[in-house]
A = this chain, B = another copy of it.
Amino acid sequence: MMNIYKISVPEIFFGRGSLKYAGVTARRLGAEKILFVSDSGLEKTGWLDLIFEILERENLQWVKFTTVVPNPRDLDIEEGARLYRQEGCDVVMSLGGGSPMDTAKGIALLASNGGCIRDYEGANRIQRPLPPMIFLPSTAGGGSDISQFAIITDAKRNIKMSIISRTLVPNISIVDPIFLMTNSEGLIITSAIDALAHAIESYVSLLASPLTEVRSLKAIDLILKHLPLALKYRQLDDLENLAIASTSAAIAFSNASLGMEHAIAHSLGGMLDVVHGLIHPILLAPVMRYNLPVCVNKIAKFGKIILGKRLRTDESTARAGIEKLEEFCASLNVTTRLRDIVSDRETLPLVCQMAMYDSCLLTNPRPATWEQMLQICEEVW
């Protein structure tokens, strides 16, 4: 017996040089004046000037909003929405990783629906359509350019709110791997591991469907193959394959949602401002081990990909696969212990209690109490 699945994917322009479509697509969506959301780091790369030239060629106007910070907060977004209205913008465009893109989504939401971000926390709370959105991901990981998700921190409560709605899927995603050439090694790693976490969690999610599962598996395969090569040689070919992986994983998680690992990661990010991509190398494997009893066949499929073969049983393939994932994470230049990114061990119980309210936990294949999540966090302290 199957459920009803709803699949929503933006129009995608994919490939090197596809950024040239930023102008014509905006024009096609009726743009006159664009609110352009990015961050100061990206401004320094020169990409913004290149995009503005493309917009100029279409006689488009734009206003910049580039004061975006990591783990964006609702207050910053309200400021962006004021700017959007005040300047009479009609389209939101964003070049960025997750933070600028989620900020852009929040701005589009408030500009059209009013109120404050907190009003829309959770699934399917947005009533009115958003202004057209065109996103250009500058990293291969977050997938906000594809997904129904926006993750925004409530500055008062210090928690990350998951806002989930099909209206948060941008109209157009322009995935140009050329942007990845200016990513630091650290950013390539944390982004790719974020995409890997999306692929794994969406694959075992309670909402996984045949239309998302192939995407998850493809992403896993590509990341395991191309991340080491991308780090070693910095060639566009491998970076492009990471972009394909990230896009595939995003199509999967946008429509199948995620699981416990992301619930804890959101809680850590909201309460302690921990960088999202640093959390997965630590928590991904132990969460898979926790989920193993209820989805051993699926984790065995993951194992078959990462091991390159099937062992004698599903159980042994799955367990060996998780171990191999730990080796893979350890081989990257990132920590695999929670103590290195969280200053105060005493905060962990509250972190896990708050994670209970995260929407991602609803689709984790195995139910969990906050104490069980705490035990996982303690194991990897």
Contacts and interface: CB of A to CB of B under 8 A. Distances in A.
- Give the size range of A's interface with the partner: 20 to 34
A262 interface: no
A209 B247 CA distance: 13
B14 A240 contact: no
Nearest to A2: B15
Interface stretch (A210-218, A281-289, A294-302): A210-218
Contact of A2 (B3, B16, B214): B16
Contacts of A215: 214
Contacts of A16: 2, 4
Nearest to A20: B4
B248 A11 contact: no
A69 interface: no
Contacts of A222: 210
Interface in A1-31: 2-9, 11-18, 21
Given A7-B11, A11-B7, A14-B7, A2 B211 contact: no
Given A218-B210, A248-B211, A13 B9 contact: no
B9 A4 contact: no
Interface in A313-354: none
A100 B345 CA distance: 63
Interface string A199-215: 00000000001110011
A166 interface: yes
A256 interface: no
* Chain multiplicity (copies): 2
A15 B212 CA distance: 14
A246 to B, nearest CB: 12
A214 B156 CA distance: 44
Contacts of A247: 211
Interface in A192-244: 209-211, 214-215, 218, 222, 240-241, 244
Contacts of A14: 4-7, 209, 211
Interface in A242-296: 244, 247-248
Contact of A6 (B2, B12, B240, B248): B12
Interface string A114-145: 00000000000000000000000000000000
A9 to B, nearest CB: 5
A209 B7 CA distance: 20
Contact of A13 (B6, B210, B240): B6
A322 to B, nearest CB: 24
A143 to B, nearest CB: 14
Residue among A17, A218, A222 facing the most chain B CB atoms (10 A cut-off): A218
Given A4-B14, A12-B211, 17 more contacts: A2-B16, A3-B15, A4-B13, A4-B21, A5-B12, A5-B14, A6-B11, A6-B12, A7-B9, A7-B14, A8-B12, A9-B9, A11-B166, A210-B244, A210-B248, A214-B214, A214-B215
22 contacts: A2-B240, A3-B15, A4-B15, A4-B18, A4-B21, A5-B12, A5-B13, A5-B14, A6-B11, A6-B12, A6-B13, A6-B14, A7-B9, A8-B11, A8-B12, A11-B166, A12-B211, A210-B218, A214-B214, A214-B215, A214-B218, A214-B248
